Structure 1
Amino acid sequence: MTRADLAGLSEISSEAELRELIGEPTAHAANKTRDRLHALDRQWLARSPFCLIATSDDRGRCDVSPKGDPAGFTHVLDDTTLVIPDRPGNRRLDGFANVLTNPHVGLNYVIPGRGDTLRVNGRARLLRDAPFFDDLVVKGNRPRLALLVEIEEVFYHCAKAFLRSRLWEPESWEPDALPSRARIVKGVEAQDLPLDALEEHYGPRYAERLYG
């Protein structure tokens, strides 16, 4: 597609048009949001090792950041408050910087093998320390930063996207269909670095430095 092809696009510009095309949600879907955790939500959080955190800055520019740790890494303070510890990473801090100008966040909690997910929307704050940081230590790593989320909405999302994508079906996986992480870095991020050094960095020992 070229820029000239964009002239033929039929764009939706209002919610009324959107509803006319897609229709209204069922009563169950429209009314399933809650403003506090249920006991089942706490069980889900205790079993989830991974979530996606969506943020945007004060100009609406968005970011989605993955967070992962041993299952149960999200600390539940009470039925309306969650805490997500930060771990060593690339120090870009895109999502955290967004929170400083726009506290609204969306979380999507995944359990491997499950198609449904737990979604949480709320307002976030950044913490540099708190008494419960001692409960967030993993492999000797006490976080220097954590995201505190005050829950405004919580609900479950159905499995259709995971089923359509066959995400948990190993026979559909093709991890070697693309270049390795080292070759991608060499191609688009660090052309000046030798490939053998990158392959060493992203090799088996990479997993040994997750909390270092």
Structure 2
Amino acid sequence: MDPAPAALTAYRAPSQRVLDKEIHALDAYCRDFIGLSPFATLATATADGWPDVSPRGGDPGFVHVLDERRLALPDRLGNNRIDSLHNLDANPRAALMFFVPGFDETLRVYGTTSVVDPGELDVDLTEFGKPPLSVLVLSVVRAYFQCPKSVMRSGLWDPERRVDRSAYPSFGTVLREHCRDTTIPTDDAVMRAALTEEL
């Protein structure tokens, strides 16, 4: 094995507690945390290793715990790039990071995946009045809670640190510039109304 880069020598060895917190199934604490979570990030990678991270959200518990070793993530209508699904077709490894508003700790779950038709699972996955287009089933390999430090540093849930929307151009304005498409509306209210119809 090649020696570690010099920059890594600045870090102390992880404590035994940090090593011991990694488990290989979803205990009651993991399952309850997932049941409270309305937002997660899905990490995948292409066959040749290029990473991708995709935000996923819904009502709390939108990711369903099928049992202590399996999660079901419904895939809702999005931008139809389906980058994550293409990646998983070539490389089935994935990771989910769960957030709960107001909680500083996060939960990381790693595993291998399969993409199935919603009808294959005996679970009602309807949300916002619509069934999912497909379902990602993650077979858990490992899981652990991430310490709160990064969220504490960011002040993510602190109302005093919330950024006023006027501090940045509207999403429509950014898209108009990125896509070089003058037909995109720049009014956020118009954009959000259109997006709401597709939830």
Do both proteins adopt the same fold according to a TM-score greater than 0.5, normalized to the shorter chain?
Answer: yes
Check if 1:26 corresponds to 2:15: yes
Mapped pair 1:208 → 2:196: yes
Aligned position for 1:64: 53
The secondary structure found in structure 1 opposite 2:108 is: strand
Give 3-state SS (helix, strand or coil) of 1:152's partner: strand
Q: Give yes or no for contact 2:117–2:135 (8 Å, CA) kept in 1.
A: yes
Query: Deviation of residue 76 (structure 1)?
Result: 1.1
Hey, what's the Cα distance between the residues in 1 that align with 2:3 and 2:176? 43
Three-state SS of the structure 2 residue aligned to 1:136 is coil
The answer (yes or no) to whether the contact 1:134–1:142 under 8 Å persists in 2 is: no
Picking from 153, 158, 164, the partner of 1:169 is 158
Instruction: Give the counterpart letter for 2:172 in structure 1.
Output: A
Indicate whether 1:186 and 2:167 are aligned.
no
**Distance in 2 of aligned mates of 1:172 and 1:45:** 26
Seq. identity, %:
30
Structure with more helix by fraction: 1
Aligned residue number for residue 123 of structure 1: 112
Matched, 1:106 2:95: yes
> Which aligned pairs between 1:69-148 and structure 2 lie closer than 5 A?
69-132=58-121, 134-148=123-137
Mapped to 2, the partners of 1:131 and 1:124 lie a distance apart of 15
Query: Once the 2 structures are TM-superposed, how far is the Cα of residue 19 of structure 1 from its aligned partner?
Result: 4.6
**For 1:52, which of 41, 63, 72 is the aligned residue?**
41
Q: 2:143 aligns with which of 131, 136, 154?
A: 154
TM-score for the superposition, normalised by structure 2: 0.91
Residue number in structure 2 paired with 1:7: none
Amino acid at match of 2:166: D
Secondary structure of 1:124's aligned partner: strand
Structure 2 counterpart of 1:44, which letter?
A: F
Q: Write the distance in 1 (CA, Å) between the matches of 2:134 and 2:82.
A: 11
State the structure with more CA Rg. 1
Structure 1 range deviating more: 169-178 or 77-86: 169-178
Q: Using a 3 Å threshold, how does the CA distance of structure 1 residues 85 and 133 change in structure 2: closer, same or farther?
A: farther
Which secondary structure does the structure 2 equivalent of 1:30 belong to? helix
The amino acid across from 1:172 in the alignment is R
TM-score where L is the length of structure 1:
0.86
Structure 1: tracts of 5 or more residues without a match: 1-12
Aligned 8 A contact 2:43 2:53 in 1:
yes
Number of aligned residue pairs: 196
